[in-house]
Amino acid sequence: MADLRNDFVGIKSPNPFWLASAPPTDKEYNVVRAFKAGWGGVVWKTLGLDPHIVNVGGPRYGAIWGADRRLLGLNNIELITDRPLDVNLQEIKSVKRAWPDRALVTSLMVPCEEPCWEDILRQVEDTECDGVELNFGCPHGMSERGMGAAVGQVPEYIEMVTRWAKANTRMPVIVKLTPNITDVRYPARAAKAGGADAVSLINTISSIVSVDLDQMAPQPTIDGKGTHGGYCGPAVKPIALNMVASIARDPETADIPISGIGGVTTWRDAAEFITLGAGNVQVCTAAMTYGFKIIEELVEGLEQWMDTAGHANLDSIHGRAVPNVTEWQYLNLNYTTKARIDQDSCIKCGRCHIACEDTSHQAITNLVDGERRFEVIDEECVGCNLCVNVCPVENCITMEQIPAGDLDKRTGQDVPSEYGNWTMHPNNPMSDAAE
């Protein structure tokens, strides 16, 4: 059985699945339930200075759904913990004592003044928790008060506050990054420059999830008004994966540990984050949708896959896909594929045809000899993969590589055997070949 034990900046947990700082980790009651269910660790919901903040009394969440009302994206306007600091600290201490083998990291957000950080870090250290996570990500509410994303969007502030934190605690410091920036490498570099032990990302994405067309107001709607919230859930995973990979690939930050966050719902999502450079993952929306029991599928699924694929432990998959993330200009333009439709599994819905016909390359038939039949027209197929993505039957349409030396009926040329990218292409005014 694959070994899922995780060591993230010296914080040990029995598996790499932590609950992210969020409503599921706001109280001892919830966290104990999570640990009983099998979660490897938690990042306690963000603490602030007293007097504690207050939340809206109306709805805090909005959502988008897929078929059968499957929750795909969740938007929230909840703030950091709305319980007194002392209550949280006592509970953190109690939980850590009772669950010494689980990771317990405390998320923090206080004003940008060093004494504030010094003060709260001293108190958190007394709980004997495993580390702190600096919340530089919250895009709503707290950012208006100069905290959260207001810090995370300014690399200089990130570096400054991180430096204060490191100066005032012996605990590992994880800096949580906001995706609401143009290039995530800059805040990551700033965290590293400030001495961060690790970064975690992504926090939620600024969003208006929907509009109530009766009230003519954003949802969730509070007394006729709405505000932007933070977006998370399966819908944000691709954005998070790209940001994690960007930091993992950046020579300046390649060595900083990353806690991957953003839409992790299944073991496969977690494996993907880890192969793109995450040392562990944090989960929230999936737990908020299905409850803590999903940890069983996450752990068992990851173990099963690692066993089948022959990966003994997390180190053996960590960052494995990073070398294969490249820039578009280095993709091999001589690599040629064509769609292939398996007629036995085709259910004849015609979606591949109409997608290709209306919006792409007119490369799929709808009638052959007067019969409803969907076949790829190699002379037109550019190998774009749209048909694969719209087909409702998995593996009914696949992309087949045309071997080097074989004719590409679309171009009328044989597929070249050599690697050739854009930097070498004659159409590129700046290509090596053109010089």
Partner 1 sequence: MVDRYLEDGIIEGRLDDDAYEQNFADAYPPLDKHEALVAADRCYFCYDAPCVTACPTAIDIPKFIRQISTGNVDGSARTIFEQNILGGMCARVCPTETLCEQACVRETAEGKPVQIGLLQRHATDHAMRNDRQYFARAEDTGKSIAVVGAGPAGLACAHRLAMKGHKVVLHDANPKAGGLNEYGIATYKSVDQFAQHEVDYVTSIGGIEIVNDSRLGEQLSIDGLLEQHDAVFLGIGLGGVNALGVEGDGDEAVASAVDFIADLRQADRFAKVPVGRRVLVIGGGMTAIDVATQARLLGAQDVTIAYRRGRENMNASHVEQNQSSSKGVNIRHWMMPVEVTKTGSGALEVKMEFTELSGGKLKGTGKFQTIEVDQLFTAIGQTLASGDAIGSIAVEGGRISVDDEFRTSNPSVWAGGDCVAAGEDLTVTAVAQGRDAAESIHAALSA
In whole angstroms, how close is the CB of 357 to partner 1 at the nearest point? 8
**Measured between alpha carbons, how far is 394 from 391 in angstroms, rounded to an integer?**
7
Give residues 327-356 in contact with partner 1 (rule: CB under 8 A): 347-351, 353-354
**Measured between alpha carbons, how far is 133 from 201 in angstroms, rounded to an integer?**
11
Query: Considering the rule CB under 8 A, would residue 392 count as an interface residue with partner 1?
Result: yes
φ and ψ at residue 121, rounded to 5 degrees: -65, -40
Name the one range near partner 1 by CB under 8 A: 64-72, 140-148, 247-255, 308-316: 64-72
Query: Considering the rule CB under 8 A, would residue 68 count as an interface residue with partner 1?
Result: yes
Amino acid at 223: D
Question: Comparing C-alpha atoms, which of 263, 191, 207, 205 is closest to residue 234?
Answer: 263
How many positions of this chain bind partner 1 (CB under 8 A)?
Answer: 14
Counting every residue, how long is the chain? 435
Give residues 117-156 in contact with partner 1 (rule: CB under 8 A): none
The secondary element (H helix, E strand) that includes residue 106 is strand 103-108
Give the nearer residue to partner 1 in terms of CB position, either 68 or 435. 68
Query: Considering the rule CB under 8 A, would residue 170 count as an interface residue with partner 1?
Result: no
Given candidates 54, 67, 216, 430, which one binds partner 1 under the rule CB under 8 A?
67
CA dihedral 388, 334, 240, 306 (to 10 degrees): 80
Give the nearer residue to partner 1 in terms of CB position, either 344 or 418. 344
In whole angstroms, how close is the CB of 366 to partner 1 at the nearest point? 6
Give the nearer residue to partner 1 in terms of CB position, either 42 or 356. 356
Give residues 94-113 in contact with partner 1 (rule: CB under 8 A): none
- What angle (nearest 5°) sits at the alpha carbon of residue 243, between those of residues 242 and 249? 85
**Measured between alpha carbons, how far is 65 from 235 in angstroms, rounded to an integer?**
10
**Active site includes 129?**
no
Query: Considering the rule CB under 8 A, would residue 211 count as an interface residue with partner 1?
Result: no
Query: Considering the rule CB under 8 A, would residue 210 count as an interface residue with partner 1?
Result: no
φ and ψ at residue 277, rounded to 5 degrees: 115, 0
**Measured between alpha carbons, how far is 95 from 127 in angstroms, rounded to an integer?**
9
Query: Considering the rule CB under 8 A, would residue 69 count as an interface residue with partner 1?
Result: yes
Give the nearer residue to partner 1 in terms of CB position, either 31 or 386. 386
In whole angstroms, how close is the CB of 237 to partner 1 at the nearest point? 22
- Return the sign of the alpha-carbon dihedral for residues 9, 15, 17, 18: negative
Query: Considering the rule CB under 8 A, would residue 372 count as an interface residue with partner 1?
Result: yes
**Measured between alpha carbons, how far is 229 from 207 in angstroms, rounded to an integer?**
5
Name the one range near partner 1 by CB under 8 A: 67-75, 255-263, 336-344, 379-387: 67-75
Candidates 116, 129, 138, 284; catalytic one? 138
Query: Considering the rule CB under 8 A, would residue 393 count as an interface residue with partner 1?
Result: yes
Could you count the other beta carbons within 10 Å of the beta carbon of residue 322?
A: 15
Give the nearer residue to partner 1 in terms of CB position, either 367 or 407. 367
Give the nearer residue to partner 1 in terms of CB position, either 308 or 359. 359
Could you count the other beta carbons within 10 Å of the beta carbon of residue 268?
A: 13
By DSSP bridging, strand 205-207 and strand 229-232 are: antiparallel
Give the interface with partner 1 as residue ranges (CB under 8 A): 67-69, 347-351, 353-354, 366, 372, 392-393
* Catalytic machinery residues: 138
